[in-house]
Each structure stands twice: as C-alpha cells, then as structure tokens.
C-alpha cells in the first residue's frame, strides 16, 4: 500500500509540475494543444474516418441499371410548340462480349481513358488529386475518373454533377471492382459509352464510323474510336470545325503514344500507323428532308452552349421546342429550288451542275433568334449540315467588318484625319498595299482602275484595292477584333492578322455565324449569339420533370451605334442599281447587304438584312467523295458565278416570302460618322495628292447621304469610271433628274483588258463601272444574271 501511495504521489507531483510549467509559458503557447492531445485527436479522427468509410461501403448498394438503357425518343418541334419537326429514335446500341473486341482496341481505350486501369482498385486517388490540382491552378478543368467510375456513372447512376452522386460513384466503383473482373468492367464500359453519331457502344460505333463489325476494327480505327470517348460529337473529323479536327487527331496520337508507353505497341508499329479517316455520317431514320438539318442546328446549340451534354441529349426523352418558323423554313427551301435548282441541268452539264450546294441562315437582329436555315436539299441523301460548316471563305462580305473597324479605329488614313465613309482611296487595280505584314496587290473585278474614290463607292463596287488598304490602315488586329465582337468565331481559318489578305475575306465562318454578325450591324451594333432552342424538358419514368436552365439572351455591344449605322448606310447603297447587290432591289423594301466571291470562284455569298431580318446565302460546289472544293464556273451555263447572282436571287426570293404580310420597316439610322456623299473619282483618274499613297480623307460630318440632283459627271480623260450619286432604292428613291447607270452590255467576257475607252465626246450618262444591275440574257458563255462582286477569277479575295 505504501509503495502504491508513493507512486501515486509522485505521479500527481509530476502532473502538478507540468501544469505549473505550462502556466509559466506565454499565453499563446498555452493555447496550443500538447503533443499528447494532438496525437489523440488525429487518432480519433482517423478511426472515425475509417469507421465511416467502412459503414458507407457496407450500406451503399450496387443499384440496378439506370433508365438510360430504356431511353425514349427525342421530339423536336417548330417554334409554335405543336408542329413536329422530327423524332429521333431509341438508343442505337448492340452489346458485344469482350472476345468480340480486338485486343488493340481494348488497349487503345485503356491508353486513352485510364492508364492505371489494370492496377487500380476501381478509383485512382492520385489521379483525382492531380486532376483537382490542375483545375485549381488554372490548367483546365480535368476529370480524375477511372474507367470503372465512368462505367458506374453511365450504367448505374446519372450524369448529374453533384457531390452526392460523386460519392456514391466512388463506393460503387470500389464494390464493382471487387465483384467483377477487369474484362467484365471494360466490356460494360465499352457497351454503355457514347461515341457520337447517335452510336452507343463500341459495336454501333464501329458501324457508324467505319461500316464494319467491331471484331474487324484495325489498330488505327480502334484508336480513333477510343479518342472519341473524350468528346464524341466535337471530335468527329467529318463534321468537326478545323480546330476540333486538330484536337481529335492530337487525341488519336496521344492514345497511340500511350500504348507504346504501356508496352501495348512497339515504336516501329506506332511509326507506321496513319490516321484512319472514317466514312461519311449516315442519315438517321426519320430525318429526311430538312428535318435532319434543323435537328443538327438545335443539337449543336444545346451542346455548344453548355445547356446539356451530348450523351445526355442522345439518351432521349427530351421535348425540344426550337426557334424555327415553319413558313419561313419552307420559304427558304422554295427559294433555293426556284432560283437555283430549277436552272441546273445535271444531265446536260454533268461537269458543272452536279454537287452544287447552298448554305443559308436567317436571324432576327432584335433577338438573335434563328428563324430558318438551309443545310442541304435532303438530309437522307446529303447528311452534311452545310449551314454549320466552317470551311468556305466568305469573300467580300468581310469588307463590312473592314469598314466598321476603320470607323472605330481612331486611326488615320494617311493625312492625319480619321477614316470616314467618305475617305478617298486609290482604286487602281493591283495597287500594292502599303504597311501590310505581307506583300499584297489584289486586282479589281476585270482589272478596272477606279482612280480616287470614297470608301462608300468602293463598297458599292466591291473594289478590292481600296479595302485591302483600308483594312491595313484600320489595323488588321483591330479588324479581326471587330469581326469577332460582331460574331465571327475567333478560331476559324483565315482570321490571322499576320496576312494582309485577311481584309478581303479569307475567313471561313459558317453561314449561321455570318448571319449573326450581320444581324449585329442591323441591330445598331448590339449583337446576340444566334440561338435555336427556346424550351427543353423531359418527363422521367417516376413523373419528375427535368427542365434544364436555358441561357439568358443578352446582347453585347460590338460597335457603337454611330459606327454600326454608318456601315448599314453604306451597305444600303450596295442594294441599288449601281451596286453589286442590285438583284435585291426586287424585294421592294429597304435593305442593305454585301456580296462576296472568292478565289477561283470556289464560293459566292450574299449577306444582307432589312430592319427586322438578317439572312445569308452561300453557294459552292464540292466533290461528294473527296469533299474537295470545285469552282462554280460553268454552273447553270454561266462562266462565272458571283455573289450578286444566285446567292442574291435566293436571298431576295426568301426574304420576300418571309416578310410577306408584314409592315414595311425603314432603317432608323444615327450615323454621325461622316456619311455625306461627296464627289467621284478625280478627273485625272489618279488619287489626289496627300501624305499617304493610300488615301485622302474628306472632312464631312452630315449624318445623311441623300443625293442632290445634279447633272452626271463626264468620264475622266483616262477612261476610268466616274463615281455618281446613289441610285434609287426602296429606302432612298431617286430625286428628279438623277440619271441611272445604263444597262450592261450582254455577252461581256469574263476578264476583259483594263478599260481604256476614252470617248470623243462626253456622253449624257456615265459609262458602266465594271458592274451593272441589268441581268444579261444567258448564252452558253454569258455572265451570271446579276452584277459581279468585285473579285476577279483566280485572285484571292
């Protein structure tokens, strides 16, 4: 007893001594827990975590397959909410066994999606931490999910991005990894994954992309299908944008390189592997006629806007109300058939009248709503949506952005004065551009020299030499930025300010992109991203309704109103008897627009608008097998097809029907940027002296451009065209006594020598300035039935 008492006394004394020593320490030190307390807390926390993990592991069950396996149809409706466009059918999927999937394909999937698959226990903590760190440090949002986790998400759970769903995914993945073999998990993953083109599962993907059974997939084909798993729709190289095609090929290379790294493939076999182009997309059942194109535009908007991912959309059950107006959609189809298809004769002219294609889009400037599109004649026969493609140059329609950039640049044209619509430039054909990053001396249409002319007149005649120089004076980077702000994607080819030719339309936006950009001009510089779905909802089997949040459509200020209205004011003059868009006068309403024709006559465009509707129409030819672009020359029997021909005629016919029965609206313009028209070309046919070889600014401030009646100016002694007052249009009728351009001579050759037609006496009216508005009759070698655009054949736009 005495010994125990002594031991207890000594222990109490030691505790008392420790307490006294602690009291003697500073306050901040006394507030810190002792190592014994810290160790105890950590031990308790660890035990609690282990216990909680064990409990959750036991109580979280492996559920039955989710409703994705019995997906419903998607129903697409016109804007009225009742008229059906199409129904996309049940999930396209055929399950296969692991033995049917080539070993190379399995290895490619592991290399692309989860290189630790054969080693991990269903989850990869290191990969999750790495992905989280990369996301937090700004290296891009990344996923750390293993193949097992993705299989669990696809087959057992949902695509919801919630902490609760992610937690369940972890525990189920651990259980599945314990209960099933790696081959079973990989098979389930490949049978449940979405590969794009409506294909669920590796078997359907093999048929959709290569027209073969999965067992016959080659190494490069299997690697491409594995690459698709990261971004199925975006990485389809047959329909992808140029930027996404590069990403898809890069992902394919990443997959093969990983196979070498993991020992699945020898370096020699890797070096001998070439990219396997898939077959063209095949039309889905029920998407005949225009339905497939409309569904494609709606799907593209939903996915690209981040409203819903492609896999969830394709799982079905959605009721999708689009913005497409059926009467206007029908009018677009009728306009193409009436103005173009009826004039084609593939039997008599098989080399020129086959594979002619049209891309068109129509957007409300005040809302950004897409009311109609034209993606092709029949989706069942041509499963390419031409309205979304970004591989056709837009030519001189880009000059509107050049002008807008000049008006907002604050830069001088060379004499210290800001650029206005009436600034004069040297319109000599093949005049070298000064100050550009690359040498450039574009010829004008038919090599015509215009002398010193205003930017307004140069737009009316689409004078290349003027706008090539004006774009450089405005600053090519600023020109690019202006086009992007208005709605031209910044990643399309041909938008590089390091190339002077950018000024004349080497960019390749889609018809829908271009319509959105011109809608921004029509809306006084306030631009909307075009949108094509107004409502999206799905009724689940339990009765709950999914209604994803739709974006708010708020305009962005691309240009101040004065600049935008000044550009519109100039584009109105293009739609006049002296302008390249003269055919649009048949609309009988105030309209503005710009034609565009590109190098080697590979495409032709008209982009135009009334106050209430902006529409673009593009025309091109393409080899159906190689998809190589072919010249439009010879189409319908015409030597050259310009933007002022079939594109403008289709635009006019469509707009007439689309606006039929609506009140005529006039442009409400507040220009304020020097839009008063001034004199024409100098009498000598050469530019006026100025500090710059490119331009002479004319100081004007009046906000209108109404011409004053006057006698026509005689032609210059050099024979160069004379700039005249604007011709009448529905918006600005001709005042009494104002002459009009004479009709163009018929049978004019495609590229005559540079004019040197000095008259012996001044005629009563000015001579034609290279392009006129009177449609010629059509012999076998005639010009197209509208004025040319300003781009010579064989010259880059």
Residue 633 near residue 686 (C-beta atoms within 8 A): no
Joined tokens for residue 423: 């600034």
Joined tokens for residue 361: 């889009």
DSSP characters over 64-126:
---GGGG---EEEE-TTSSSEEEEE-S-EE----GGGS-HHHHHHHHHHH-TTTTTSSS--HH
| Crossing angle (nearest 10°) for helices 147-155 and 163-179 | 110
Residue carrying the six token digits 């998400």: 153
Residue carrying the six token digits 């807008």: 404
Catalytic residue (one of 111, 113, 452, 694):
113
SS3 at position 436: coil
* Separation between Cα atoms, residue 251 and residue 111, nearest integer Å: 11
Would you say the C-alpha torsion 331, 336, 337, 340 has a positive or negative sign? positive
Task: Give strand ranges (E) for 560-644.
Answer: 592-597, 603-610, 613-622, 629-630
Residue carrying the six token digits 């592997």: 273
The shares of helix, strand and coil residues in the chain, as percent rounded to the nearest 5, are: 40, 10, 50
Compute CA distances 395 → 176, 259, 366, 604, 605, whole Å. Answer: 57, 44, 26, 8, 8
* Separation between Cα atoms, residue 85 and residue 290, nearest integer Å: 9
Which DSSP category does 241 fall into? -
Give the containing element (helix H, strand E) for 362. Answer: strand 356-363
Residue 293 CA, distance from chain mean position: 15
Q: HSE of 646 in the Cβ direction (CA atoms, 13 Å)?
A: 31
Q: 620 - beta bridge partners? A: 357, 603
* Separation between Cα atoms, residue 647 and residue 606, nearest integer Å: 5
Task: Determine whether 612 is an active site residue.
Answer: no
Backbone angles phi, psi at 137, to 5 degrees: -90, 10
Residue 347 CB partners (closer than 8 Å, separation 6+): none
* Separation between Cα atoms, residue 340 and residue 623, nearest integer Å: 19
Catalytic residue (one of 111, 145, 315, 396):
396
Task: Determine whether 113 is an active site residue.
Answer: yes
Joined tokens for residue 157: 């759970």
Q: 539 - beta bridge partners? A: 545
Q: What's the first-to-final CA gap in the chain, in angstroms? A: 109
* Separation between Cα atoms, residue 323 and residue 314, nearest integer Å: 20
Would you say the C-alpha torsion 316, 318, 324, 326 has a positive or negative sign? positive
Catalytic residues: 113, 396
């Amino acid at each position: 007893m005495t010994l125990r008492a002594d031991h207890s006394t000594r222990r109490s004394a030691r505790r008392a001594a420790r307490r006294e020593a602690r009291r003697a320490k500073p306050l901040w030190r006394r507030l810190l827990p002792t190592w014994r307390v810290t160790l105890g807390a950590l031990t308790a926390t660890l035990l609690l975590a282990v216990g909680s993990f064990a409990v959750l592991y036991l109580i979280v069950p492996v559920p039955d397959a989710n409703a994705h396996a019995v997906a419903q149809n998607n129903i697409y409706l016109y804007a009225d909410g009742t008229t059906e466009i199409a129904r996309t059918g049940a999930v396209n999927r055929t399950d296969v066994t692991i033995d049917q999937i080539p070993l190379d394909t399995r290895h490619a999937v592991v290399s692309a999606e989860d290189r630790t698959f054969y080693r991990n226990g269903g989850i990869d903590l290191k990969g999750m931490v790495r992905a989280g760190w990369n996301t937090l440090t700004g290296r891009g949002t990344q996923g750390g999910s293993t193949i097992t986790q993705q299989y669990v998400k696809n087959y057992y759970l949902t695509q919801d991005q919630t902490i609760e769903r992610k937690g369940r995914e972890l525990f189920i993945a651990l259980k599945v990894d314990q209960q099933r073999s790696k081959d079973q998990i990989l098979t389930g993953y490949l049978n449940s994954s979405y590969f794009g083109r409506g294909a669920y599962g590796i078997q359907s993907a093999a048929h959709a992309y290569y027209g073969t059974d999965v067992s016959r997939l080659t190494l490069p084909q299997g690697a491409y299908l594995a690459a698709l798993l990261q971004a199925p729709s975006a990485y389809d190289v047959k329909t992808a944008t140029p930027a996404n095609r590069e990403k898809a090929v890069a992902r394919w290379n990443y997959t093969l390189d990983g196979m070498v790294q993991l020992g699945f493939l020898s370096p020699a076999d890797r070096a001998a592997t070439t990219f396997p182009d898939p077959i063209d997309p095949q039309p889905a059942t029920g998407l005949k006629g225009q339905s497939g194109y409309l569904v494609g535009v709606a799907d593209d908007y939903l996915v690209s806007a981040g409203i819903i991912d492609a896999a969830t959309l394709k799982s079905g059950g959605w009721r999708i109300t689009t913005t497409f107006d059926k009467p206007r959609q029908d009018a677009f189809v009728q306009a193409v058939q009436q103005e173009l298809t009826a004039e084609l004769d593939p039997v008599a002219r098989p080399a020129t009248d086959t594979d002619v294609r049209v891309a068109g889009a129509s957007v409300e400037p005040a809302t950004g709503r897409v009311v109609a599109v034209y993606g092709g004649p029949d989706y069942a026969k041509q499963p390419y949506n031409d309205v979304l493609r970004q591989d056709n140059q837009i030519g001189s329609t880009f000059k509107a952005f050049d002008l807008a950039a000049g008006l907002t640049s604050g830069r001088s044209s060379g004499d210290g004065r800001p650029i206005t619509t009436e600034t004069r430039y040297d319109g000599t054909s093949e005049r070298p551009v000064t100050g550009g990053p690359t040498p450039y001396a574009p010829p004008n249409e038919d090599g015509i020299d215009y002398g010193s002319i205003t930017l307004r007149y140069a737009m009316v005649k689409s004078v290349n030499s003027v706008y090539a120089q004006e774009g450089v004076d405005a600053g090519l980077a600023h020109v690019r930025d202006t086009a992007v702000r208005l709605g031209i994607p910044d990643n399309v080819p041909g938008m590089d300010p390091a190339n002077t030719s950018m000024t004349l339309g080497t960019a390749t936006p889609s018809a829908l992109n271009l319509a959105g950009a011109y809608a921004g001009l029509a809306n006084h510089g306030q631009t909307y991203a075009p949108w094509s779905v107004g409502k999206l909802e799905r009724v689940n089997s339990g009765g709950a309704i999914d209604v994803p949040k739709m974006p708010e459509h708020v305009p962005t200020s691309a240009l101040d109103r004065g600049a935008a209205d000044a550009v519109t004011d100039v584009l109105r003059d293009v739609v006049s008897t002296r302008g390249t868009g003269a055919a649009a006068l048949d609309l009988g309403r105030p309209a503005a627009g710009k034609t565009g024709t590109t190098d080697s006559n590979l495409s032709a465009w008209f982009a135009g608008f009334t106050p209430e509707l902006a529409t673009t129409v593009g025309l091109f030819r393409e080899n159906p097998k190689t998809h190589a672009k072919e010249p439009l020359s010879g189409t319908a029997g015409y030597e050259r097809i310009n933007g002022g021909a079939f594109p403008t005629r289709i635009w006019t016919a469509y707009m007439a029907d689309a606006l039929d029965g609506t009140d005529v609206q006039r442009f409400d313009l507040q220009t304020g940027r020097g839009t008063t028209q001034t004199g024409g070309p100098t009498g000598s046919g050469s530019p006026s002296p100025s500090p710059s070889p490119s331009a002479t600014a004319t100081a004007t401030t009046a906000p209108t451009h109404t011409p004053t009646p006057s006698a026509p100016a005689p032609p210059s002694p050099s024979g160069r065209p004379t700039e005249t007052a604007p011709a009448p249009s529905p918006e600005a009728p001709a005042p009494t006594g104002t002459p009009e351009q004479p009709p163009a001579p018929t049978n004019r050759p495609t590229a005559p020598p540079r004019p040197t037609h000095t008259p012996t006496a001044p005629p009563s009216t000015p001579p034609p300035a290279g392009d006129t508005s009177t449609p010629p009759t059509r012999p076998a070698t005639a010009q197209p039935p509208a004025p040319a655009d300003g781009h010579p054949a064989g010259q880059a736009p």
